[in-house]
A = this chain, B = another copy of it.
Amino acid sequence: MTPQPARRNEQSRRAILTAALELMTEAGYSAVTIEAIAARAGVGKQTIYRWWRGKGAVILDALADNAPEVLALPDTGDLRADLRQVLRATVAEFADPRLSATTRAITIETLADDELADQVRDRLLRPQLNAVRTRLEAAREAGQVRTDAPLDQVVELLFGPLYHRWLLRNGPLTDDYADGIVDLTLAAITPPCTCLGI
């Protein structure tokens, strides 16, 4: 009844994930169908349905499998520079049609499937957000960030506007914009002027 992972064909698994990624970048999200994946991977449809819940789960695995994963941000000591680099990289990802297509695809699946959304959050997004959070904690240790700043919210203050603008096309998504968001965020979390200690 339930499949036994021990007998799973690794070649088929990899062929499926590769086919899904290729279809997404070559022909766009609408071309990513179970039947197309199966055909390109040279695989029966049942083999896909045996191991995944549906298209969204395949896409998620395909992305998670090929994610190199930077687990830690660079820490040059200059918080502003480090954050700019991260946000500019995110902007570049949204600007690149190829990378943007994958983000778009997984976002669509996320909106339509709660269970999948949880996995996307835990496996793809949390690691990235946590890396930024860790960098912010280091900055707080260094006295560059006010101690009462809610760092989880600060992280979302950085990424939220980027996602918002990408989603809504509410203006150009440029390096300047990323820098502006970093500047605003830093203004929100730098220790208050003591009016005495200068």
**In the complex, how many angstroms separate the beta carbon of A165 from the nearest chain B beta carbon?**
6
Contacting residues of chain A (109-131) with chain B, CB-CB under 8 angstroms: 110-112, 114, 117-118, 120-121, 125-126, 129
Known A121-B170, A169-B117, A169-B118; judge A154-B184 contact (CB<8 A): yes
| Chain B residue contacts of A149, Cβ below 8 A | 184
Interface residues of A in 175-196 (CB under 8 A from B): 177, 180-181, 184-185, 187-189, 192-193, 195
User: CB-nearest residue of chain B relative to A186?
Assistant: B188
Contact B110 A111 (CB under 8 A): no
- B112 near A111 with CB under 8 A, answer no
Cβ–Cβ contact A156 & B161, under 8 A: yes
Please tell me if A153 contacts chain B, counting CB pairs below 8 Å.
Answer: yes
Work out how many copies of this chain go into the complex: 2
Q: Which of B107, B170, B195 touches A111 (beta carbons < 8 Å)?
A: B107
Question: Whole-angstrom distance from the CB of A69 to the nearest CB of chain B?
Answer: 18
Known: A30-B112, A150-B180. A107 touches B170 (CB 8 A): no
Interface check A164, CB cutoff 8 A: yes
Interface positions, chain A 123-173, Cβ under 8 Å from B, are: 125-126, 129, 149-150, 152-154, 156-157, 159-165, 167-171
